[in-house]
Structure 1
């Protein structure tokens, strides 16, 4: 599932292929931007902000969000001419062409073309990104603690607090902290949780397979995420699953070990 490390890696590969190159043509297969053409503009850089990806030219920013199924692929022009793409053509949402490479965005949850000066309208609400070289730890920690009654799992998912942690990270960080995910953020050791999250996401950005356990063997990369009804790797207790979120429409699947992550204060809540 695309989280901050996946988007960072996509941006890194796109930057290597496109930065400094002139766009020969573009296609945006969404109604609002279907007539936009950026041919002649030079790609300055491709960067990620949390789960958002930004392709910047001198005057525009192509903003996309992968959501659950989205991805960006790079193809040589001859490959595209032969129709040898790795996902169905009807799922294409954006195409950026240069002489040497063609970037194709599939199943993008969001794709829009913004004036560069207006980029903050899309990503200005985001909290500090652990993969940003200028990551502001103090601000991120303050953000996580500014709603002390919110469950720590929900706080970790809030992109306004810290940008980049998704459902997998929130579940695994609670487990590694031996903390019930429903624990109020104000009662959680937020500093160590944040520091571990930063360390993990920075390590995972350079891996093809994300891991929290230290191994990339199939089926062994997470402690609790996606492991409902299976034994805890530490104690053997059956992993449980519930849903948790600010509202019913924002609920996400939560996995935890009742033994390794006892209810806060010893209460069975």
Structure 2
């Protein structure tokens, strides 16, 4: 899943493989825009901020991308070039960079792909709250807690997913941390210990980043990696109750949600919170 930990791992791989290399040939094209070329420039750094990827070039430009659910950065053999799109189909390669013997790096089906001056990166990431996996997280932890508390009337599920409060938490980590914390996903944020929940989520994601996995149960066997995510109607691994599910709604952070009705009961005095 393209969440904060997976984007940070991707940034590390691209940094290790391509940072410092000159661009021998390239193309950036979005829709009907004129192509922007990076040929002759050099990639200096690849960084992750939440779920956003920043590729910084020596010439003072940054290529900003967000994978969402479908985008990917792929490495192709040296000399590879994208095929012309078939008639009536859009070109799924939004940008590519030829790094010689290191191969060609290409953005496939990337929903967000922008070029901005490196000095103006805030134009594309300035709205984000503290990054839960960044080195400055301990210092910005109180800010993130205050942001979640300020969303007092929202379901805690939405408050976690709103990247303006804190960034890097995606659907998987949200539902899994709420299960481990024993919190009903639609509980109002005001009724949740935000500091305890964010600390738990941070520790889970750091462990996943370190181990290179998004498993939350500690069991890496196929079909055993998650407590509730993707497990609708299957028995809870703790109590055996069938896992509940709610489909994504119209809100920007109202994603597919799984939870255990027994391990994560709603507050008895808030029946309106039930989905």
Fold match, TM over 0.5?
A: yes
Q: Deviations over 1:67-115 (max 9, x none)?
A: 101111223415x3799xxxxx953222122223221111211011111
- Say whether the 8 Å CA contact 2:29–2:36 is kept in structure 1: no
Partner residue in 1 for 2:21: 21
Partner residue in 1 for 2:267: 264
Aligned structure 1 segments of 4 or more residues deviating by more than 6 angstroms: none
Q: Deviations over 1:138-179 (max 9, x none)?
A: 111111111111110100101111111011111111101101
Unmatched 5+ residue regions in structure 2? 84-89
- Say whether the 8 Å CA contact 2:161–2:253 is kept in structure 1: no
94, 105, 117: which one aligns with 2:107:
105
Partner residue in 2 for 1:161: 165
Partner residue in 2 for 1:46: 46
Q: CA RMSD in A?
A: 2.1
**SS at 1:252's partner residue?**
coil
For the structure 1 residues 122 and 244, does the alpha-carbon distance in structure 2 shift closer, same or farther, using more than 3 Å as the test? same
- Say whether the 8 Å CA contact 1:71–1:107 is kept in structure 2: yes
- Say whether the 8 Å CA contact 1:154–1:244 is kept in structure 2: no
Give distance in 2, aligned partners of 1:249 and 1:8: 23
More deviation, 67-76/158-167: 67-76
2:6 equivalent to 1:6: yes
Give distance in 2, aligned partners of 1:147 and 1:82: 45
Unmatched 5+ residue regions in structure 1? 84-88
Question: TM-score if structure 2 supplies the norm length?
Answer: 0.88
Q: Give the count of matched residue pairs.
A: 262
Give distance in 1, aligned partners of 2:33 and 2:63: 11
221, 231, 235: which one aligns with 1:231:
235
Give distance in 2, aligned partners of 1:194 and 1:250: 17
For the structure 1 residues 91 and 218, does the alpha-carbon distance in structure 2 shift closer, same or farther, using more than 3 Å as the test? farther
Q: Deviations over 1:168-207 (max 9, x none)?
A: 1111111011011111111101112111111111122244
Give distance in 2, aligned partners of 1:244 and 1:69: 17
Q: Structure 2 matches for 1:49-88, cutoff 5 A?
A: 49-58=49-58, 59-77=60-78, 80=80
Question: TM-score if structure 1 supplies the norm length?
Answer: 0.90
- Say whether the 8 Å CA contact 2:2–2:69 is kept in structure 1: yes
Superposed displacement of residue 249, structure 1: 5.5
Superposed displacement of residue 265, structure 1: 3.8
209, 214, 219: which one aligns with 2:213:
209
Partner residue in 2 for 1:255: 258
Superposed displacement of residue 212, structure 1: 0.8
Partner residue in 1 for 2:124: 122
- Say whether the 8 Å CA contact 2:82–2:93 is kept in structure 1: no
Q: Deviations over 1:211-265 (max 9, x none)?
A: 11112211111111111111101000011111466x5454211111110001124
Partner residue in 1 for 2:143: 139
Give distance in 1, aligned partners of 2:211 and 2:73: 17
- Say whether the 8 Å CA contact 1:223–1:232 is kept in structure 2: yes
More deviation, 226-235/204-213: 204-213
Give distance in 1, aligned partners of 2:12 and 2:129: 21
- Say whether the 8 Å CA contact 2:26–2:38 is kept in structure 1: yes
Give distance in 2, aligned partners of 1:31 and 1:193: 42
Give distance in 2, aligned partners of 1:137 and 1:118: 25
